[in-house]
Structure 1
Amino acid sequence: MDMELIAEGFEFPEGPIALADGSVILTEIKGQRLTRIHPGGRRETVVETGGGPNGAALGPDGAIYITNNGGSFQWLDNAGMTIPGPTPPSHKGGMIQKYDPKTGVLSTLYDSCEGKRLVGPNDLVFDRHGGFWFTDHGCSTPEGRKFGALYYAKADGSHIARQRDHLISPNGVGLSPDEDVVYVADTQLGRLWAFDVAEPGVLKPPESFAPGRVVANLPGYQLLDSLAVEASGKVCVATIINGGITVFDPEGATEHHPFPDLIVTNICFGGADMREAWVTCSATGKLFKARWPRPGLKLNYNG
């Protein structure tokens, strides 16, 4: 696959948003900011967020919505690579933030649901109705993990609902082209889940004991991160340890596209034909652009 290094020197980049003018906005989790990379390589800080900004997406009002984990990682250096470590004792929880580029105002939209504090919001995707699905990754503790969850929320701050609880480490989230399935990648399990949608913002009840349908489990020790969906319905999931993008067919078959980083964290699609793939390689702090073999699914809201 042809790939081009666009920029480097980021502090654990994630959450890329491909804009119509050819620029890309991404989060820097360790750097606690959103950064814009213009065509030609010029970069600018969009907003300092604090905490740990992870996923980012444009909403129906043109604002940028951010899943912020609240600083749920200590940062380790391993042979020059930046590695996310245990959750620090200072961590109190995360939040959903909203940044309005017109006014420059950054606000907290949600930090709890039904009286329970969000732990580590991770990734989000907007549906065609203007609401968004988001994952809470949970976090580590000295006694073990706090569970994660899958939520649905409205962009105006009026509604948030926990749709699946007690998930191990939910990370990437995306919608099928007809939006009748929510896909969630579980990091620690190396598993892609599929959750069937009953109506906008509501999942169908789970069958039997499983919280959802298993699309596939990766063999050996491979970890999954954030994702994007192709126009064909295939799900492209950033993969850690086996660094690259693993493409899951909804029927369970997989293919792997390697990228030069141990910790590949996210992918988004853009360009006139939706075949420009922007990939964040986080341990080395780099952003690549690749010519993808198939078009990506156009998101509901694009800049």
Structure 2
Amino acid sequence: MEMQLVAEGLEFPEGPIALGDGSIILTEIKGQRLTRITPDGKKEIVVETGGGPNGAAIGPDGAIWITNNGGAFEWLDNMGLTIPGPTPASHVGGMIQRYDPKSGKLETVYEACEGRRLIGPNDLVFDRQGGFWFTDHGCSTPEGRKFGGLYYAKADGSLISRQRDHIISPNGVGLSPDETVVYAADTQLGRLWAFDVAGPGVLSPGPGFAPGRVICNLQDYQLLDSLAVEAGGKVCVATIINGGITTFDPDGSIEHYAFPDPICTNICFGGADMMDAWITASATGKLFKARWPRPGLKLNFNA
């Protein structure tokens, strides 16, 4: 696949949003900010968020919604590659933030659910009703891992609901084109989950003792990060170790597109035909653009 280097020198980029003017807004987790990348590669700070801004999406209100992990990683340098390390002892939890580009106001909308602090919010996607599904990745501790979950929340701040709990490391999240399925990538398992939707913001019970349906488990040691869905229903998941994008068909078959970074973290689609793809290559701090073989799914809200 032909690829173009759009920008470099980013501090662990994630959460790309393709805007109508051809620019990209993305998060820099290590840099603790949102950054705009113009088509010619120029960088402009949008807002300093603090913590660890991971996922980002345009909401029905035109604001940028951010899943912020609260600074859940120490940062390691391994032969020039930026690697997310253990969770620092100072970490107390993450939050859902809302940034209004018109007013410049940044606010925290959610930081707890049913009296429990969010651990490490990671990725989000808005449905047609204007609410959003988001993953909490959990975090590491010296005693073991705090497991994450899958949540639904409303953009007016009136509701947050934990729909699945005790998932090992939920990361990327997306909706099928008909919005009857929520997909979530589990990083540590290398697994793509499918959760059937019973109604807006509510999941159907999983099959048997499982929390959801397993689309595929990757072979060997491959980790999964954030994702985007194609218009035809395939799920494109950024892949770690085997750096690139792994595309999952709902029938369980896969194909892999390699990119030159062992920690690819996300993909988004845009352009007039939705076949332009932007990929965050985070260990090397780069943003790539490629022509995808199929169109991506247009999101419900954009700018």
Question: C-alpha separation between the residues in 2 aligned to 1:226 and 1:158?
Answer: 26
Q: After superposition, give the CA deviation of every residue in 1:50-98 in whole Å (9 maximum; x if it has no partner).
A: 0000000000010000000000000000000000000000000000000
- 2:131 corresponds in structure 1 to 131
Question: C-alpha separation between the residues in 1 aligned to 2:262 and 2:108?
Answer: 32
Q: After superposition, give the CA deviation of every residue in 1:21-44 in whole Å (9 maximum; x if it has no partner).
A: 000000000000000011222211
Deviation at 1:16, TM superposition (A): 0.1
Does structure 1 retain, via aligned residues, the 8 Å contact 2:7–2:42? Answer: no
Question: C-alpha separation between the residues in 2 aligned to 1:259 and 1:212?
Answer: 30
- 1:186 corresponds in structure 2 to 186
Unaligned runs of 5+ in 2: none
The root-mean-square deviation of aligned C-alpha atoms, in Å, is 0.4
Give the secondary structure class of the aligned counterpart of 1:77.
strand
1:154 paired with 2:154, answer yes
- 1:34 corresponds in structure 2 to 34
- 2:206 corresponds in structure 1 to 206
Question: C-alpha separation between the residues in 2 aligned to 1:197 and 1:33?
Answer: 33
Letter matched to residue 263 of structure 2: I
- 1:229 corresponds in structure 2 to 229
Letter matched to residue 8 of structure 2: E
Question: C-alpha separation between the residues in 2 aligned to 1:293 and 1:38?
Answer: 24
- 1:86 corresponds in structure 2 to 86
Deviation at 1:205, TM superposition (A): 1.2
Question: C-alpha separation between the residues in 2 aligned to 1:216 and 1:42?
Answer: 38
Question: C-alpha separation between the residues in 1 aligned to 2:248 and 2:158?
Answer: 34
Q: After superposition, give the CA deviation of every residue in 1:134-161 in whole Å (9 maximum; x if it has no partner).
A: 0000000001000100000000110000
Question: C-alpha separation between the residues in 1 aligned to 2:50 and 2:20?
Answer: 27
Give the secondary structure class of the aligned counterpart of 1:189.
coil
- 1:19 corresponds in structure 2 to 19
Deviation at 1:115, TM superposition (A): 0.2
Q: Structure 1 runs of 4+ off > 2 angstroms?
A: none
Give the secondary structure class of the aligned counterpart of 1:41.
coil
Deviation at 1:207, TM superposition (A): 2.0
Question: C-alpha separation between the residues in 1 aligned to 2:41 and 2:78?
Answer: 27
* Identity of matched residues, %: 81
Question: C-alpha separation between the residues in 2 aligned to 1:238 and 1:41?
Answer: 22
Question: C-alpha separation between the residues in 1 aligned to 2:14 and 2:276?
Answer: 17
- 2:67 corresponds in structure 1 to 67
Give the secondary structure class of the aligned counterpart of 2:46.
strand
Q: After superposition, give the CA deviation of every residue in 1:201-239 in whole Å (9 maximum; x if it has no partner).
A: 000012211000000000000000000000000000000
Q: After superposition, give the CA deviation of every residue in 1:230-253 in whole Å (9 maximum; x if it has no partner).
A: 000000000000000000000100
Does structure 1 retain, via aligned residues, the 8 Å contact 2:189–2:223? Answer: yes
Structure 1 segment 221-300 matched on structure 2, within 5 A: 221-300=221-300
Question: C-alpha separation between the residues in 2 aligned to 1:38 and 1:8?
Answer: 12
Letter matched to residue 54 of structure 1: N
- 1:3 corresponds in structure 2 to 3
- 1:176 corresponds in structure 2 to 176
Q: Count residues with an aligned counterpart.
A: 303
- 1:114 corresponds in structure 2 to 114
Does structure 1 retain, via aligned residues, the 8 Å contact 2:129–2:200? Answer: yes
Letter matched to residue 224 of structure 1: L
Does structure 1 retain, via aligned residues, the 8 Å contact 2:52–2:70? Answer: yes
TM-score of the two chains, using structure 1 as the length reference:
1.00
Give the secondary structure class of the aligned counterpart of 1:27.
strand
Deviation at 1:302, TM superposition (A): 1.1
